[in-house]
Amino acid sequence: MFQTEYDTVNYEVCSIISRYRGLDGGIELEYTAKSITSMEKRMTDTDRKEFIRRGFDLVAQGYDHPSLYFMPETARRMVNHLELQPQQNLLDVCTGTGVVALAAAEKLTQGKVTGIDLSSGMLQQAENKSREKGYDNTQFIQMDMDHLAFAEESFDIATSSFGLFFLEDMTRGLKNIARMVKPGGKVAISSFKADAFSPMVQLFMRCYESFGHELPPLSWQRLSNSELLESQFSAADLKVSSIHHEPLGYTMTNSQMWWDVVWNAGWRSLISLLSEEEQREFKKVHMKEVSELIGEEGVWFNTEVLIAIGEK
Ligand SMILES: C[S@@+](CC[C@H](N)C(=O)[O-])C[C@H]1O[C@@H](n2cnc3c(N)ncnc32)[C@H](O)[C@@H]1O
């Protein structure tokens, strides 16, 4: 089922200067973000997707680590907000390890859940979990969200938790997702708020850059407030019925807690671009800075989320 062929690509290193200013909560993050690849300009869409696919294949085994509890917690809350009916059919786009799909499958006892993702590694985890739970109403398929191969209007609900912002053209992506849903059906999208991953992310970026490597802009910032979500929904002809702010996060009491986030999520792709020696040195320097920040008291690690629900 996951046998799609992808071309091997060479990643070209280029430089893009980006600036982020005035994030909510008074934190000012201003840094020179130079793209690790031509993600922003020179890389083709296929290359970008291949980079993403490989990155998630790399972290698939550790993705359900407790340090990333905010992913399944967002999924649980999204499914609750959707008020599912047992006979409905749901499409989960960018399903990853299936956190939304499986939370929904528990409720859709007479319906069916279809999860799609680029990464066969992530899909395998989803399928394993579904099997362990004994669900017979799920299917997981390797597919690009830009090329959804389903009949139009064949689902009651479509979801995409922390997925849409991976697309260069989010509007086209959301339109494609909306096309899969019947008139009157629902579409749910989640993203992180602007301050998410603070205060660790600022240290990570400065340290990474101090090693002479370049960083891509933070993709979720393109969907990090209600207005940005609303404008995407309206461009896709979806009526926003609610936007939920979920103030998730936890106190980090040691630097390993942050490293667990880095190692088990998308940040790992950036680490993997460093040589082995650089990886060791980066970890040493960065962990020292994080330990100093955490101190004796611990530090609140912000993973605030927005969940938008729209109607077709
Ligand atoms: C941050 S993870 C989120 C996974 C899951 N929805 C969750 O909430 O934990 C993003 C997922 O989107 C997938 N993805 C990114 N771009 C995609 C695309 N164009 N088509 C399908 N899946 C994609 C990645 O492979 C990854 O599994």
157 backbone dihedrals φ, ψ, rounded to 5°: -140, 145
Closest-CA residue, ligand 1 atom 8, reads 161
CA of 289 to the centre of ligand 1 (A): 30
Closest-CA residue, ligand 1 atom 10, reads 163
Q: Write down the pLDDT at residue 218.
A: 87
Residues with CB under 6 A from ligand 1: 49, 52-53, 56, 71, 75, 94-96, 99-100, 117-119, 122, 144-146, 161-163, 166
pLDDT tens digits, residue range 292-302?
999 999 999 99
Taking the C-alpha atoms of residue 308 and residue 312, their distance in angstroms, rounded to an integer, is 13
CA of 7 to the centre of ligand 1 (A): 19
| Bridge pairing between strands 138-142 and 112-117 | parallel
**pLDDT (average), residues 164-171:** 95
Taking the C-alpha atoms of residue 173 and residue 45, their distance in angstroms, rounded to an integer, is 13
Nearest to 58 by CA among 16, 108, 118: 118
CA of 116 to the centre of ligand 1 (A): 9
Report the 10 Å Cβ neighbour count for 196. 22
Considering the entire predicted model, what is its pTM?
A: 0.88
CA of 174 to the centre of ligand 1 (A): 14
CA of 120 to the centre of ligand 1 (A): 11
- Return the ligand 1 atom nearest residue 173 CA: 19
Is the pLDDT confidence value at 14 over 90? no
Q: Which of 45, 64, 65, 117 to mutate to test the pocket of ligand 1 (most atoms within 8 A of CB)?
A: 117
Architecture of domain 4-311: 3-Layer(aba) Sandwich (3.40)
Contacts of 186 (CB under 8 A, 6+ apart): 82, 156, 157, 158, 241, 309, 310, 311, 312
Taking the C-alpha atoms of residue 180 and residue 295, their distance in angstroms, rounded to an integer, is 49
Closest-CA residue, ligand 1 atom 27, reads 96
pLDDT tens digits, residue range 59-82?
999 999 999 999 999 999 999 999
Q: What is the percentage of the chain residues whose pLDDT exceeds 90?
A: 79
CA of 93 to the centre of ligand 1 (A): 7
What residue spans define the domains of the chain? 4-311
Q: Which amino acid is at 112?
A: K
Output the DSSP codes for 104-149: HHHH-TTSEEEEEES-HHHHHHHHHHHHHHT-SSEEEEE--GGG--
**pLDDT (average), residues 206-219:** 88
Q: Count Cβ atoms within 10 A of the Cβ of residue 151 and give its class: 0-12 exposed, 13-18 middle, 19 or more buried.
A: exposed
Residue 276 sits at the vertex; the CA angle it makes with 29 and 97, to the nearest 5 degrees, is: 65
pLDDT tens digits, residue range 258-283?
999 999 998 998 999 899 999 999 99
Q: What is the percentage of the chain residues whose pLDDT exceeds 70?
A: 87
Q: Which amino acid is at 90?
A: L
Mean pLDDT, the chain, as a whole number?
Answer: 87
**Token pair recorded at residue 161:** 């938790």
**pLDDT (average), residues 192-211:** 95
